[in-house]
Structure 1
Amino acid sequence: MTAVPDAPTGVPEDLPLMRGVELSDLEATTLLDQAIFGRDSYSYTVMRQFYDLYSRHFLVVDDGKDIQGYVLAGTAVDGRSCVLGLGITQDRRKRGLGRRLMLGVLDLLRADGVHTVRLSVAPENDTAIDLYKSLDFTTEGGLQKDYFGPGGDRYVMLRRL
């Protein structure tokens, strides 16, 4: 299991446990991803492959009964990383879980020598954009039309660690 840093400063202490993903979490994590991202979600097969490749940078928030959120970063050997997914259950949003997951994975990435983290975000997802900006991500260029195919416009954001 991935060792996760202590709760970052400024994050409420009454949040569910943040920990490294386990194989038994993949079904719940996949269902959460599908509920949030619909047609753009990952299949169980892809989540399993991500688990095999990137489990060190794949964190979940677990309240003891259910997975409440996850973050996943894929990392290249040259010190670059990409946040492949961040999702929080609808009923647990706006409680600091996304921030906590992002700070946790950024700490792990930094400790592993990653120097650059990228992510993409839908232009209508103001909450996520605000979160990423508050974590010192900046937009690379303007809106990238059809980034994920027709209708899949995204902002690409970058942060140096």
Structure 2
Amino acid sequence: MADVEIAVMTPTHIGEVHDISLASFPVSWSREDLLKEVYSDNSLNLVALEDGKVAGYINIWYVYDEADVINVAVREDSRKRGIGRKLMLEAIVRLMDKGITDIYLEVRVSNLPAQSLYRALGFNAIGVRRKYYSNGEDAYNMHLEIKAQKPR
């Protein structure tokens, strides 16, 4: 695996991020919405760069001491190589630096690889959101408390 660098998302990354979003989610964000996130004061948006190309990204919203992971996606040809984990770990560290103590996310009940990653990082399922996704699929609501621990 080539070196993967984690960087703050910039407008130059939006095209590649949008392509990954289209390939990863049934309902993708628009380029305009992704661009708005780059300039938001309450968003953390990171990209994983491999040989100068976007291999994955993460969008997080935060307010006060809580954060919500909105999207995590890795380009199909870059999956199963630790890029999602690297994005999550960097995001957790950056959120800790901002004083965030609690991180939440939703994950499809069918997305076992993502659930495995989140559990390995210390997230716990705290509930189920029935019919959360547009196709009617349920989501697990997961939580990580980071005031008492650092990510594994």
Shared topology, TM-score over 0.5?
A: yes
Structure 2 distance, partners of 1:144, 1:20, is 30
Contact 1:72 1:85 in 2 (8 A): yes
Change (3 A) 1:152 1:48: farther
The superposition leaves residues 62-89 of structure 1 with CA deviations (integer Å, 9 ceiling, x where unpaired) of 123421001111111x211001111101
Moved over 2 A (4+): none
SS of 2:46's partner is strand
Letter of the 1:66 counterpart: K
SS of 1:17's partner is strand
Aligned length, in residue pairs: 146
Structure having the larger proportion of residues in strand = 2
Change (3 A) 1:61 1:119: same
Contact 1:54 1:74 in 2 (8 A): no
CA RMSD, 1 decimal: 1.8
Letter of the 1:19 counterpart: A
Runs of 5+ unmatched residues, structure 1? 1-11
- Answer yes or no: is 1:66 the counterpart of 2:85: no
Contact 1:72 1:84 in 2 (8 A): yes
Quote the sequence identity (%).
24
Letter of the 1:119 counterpart: L
Q: Which residue does the alignment assign to 1:6?
A: none
Equivalent position to 1:129, from 72, 93, 115: 115
> Structure 2 length normalisation: TM-score?
0.88
Q: Which residue does the alignment assign to 1:106?
A: 92
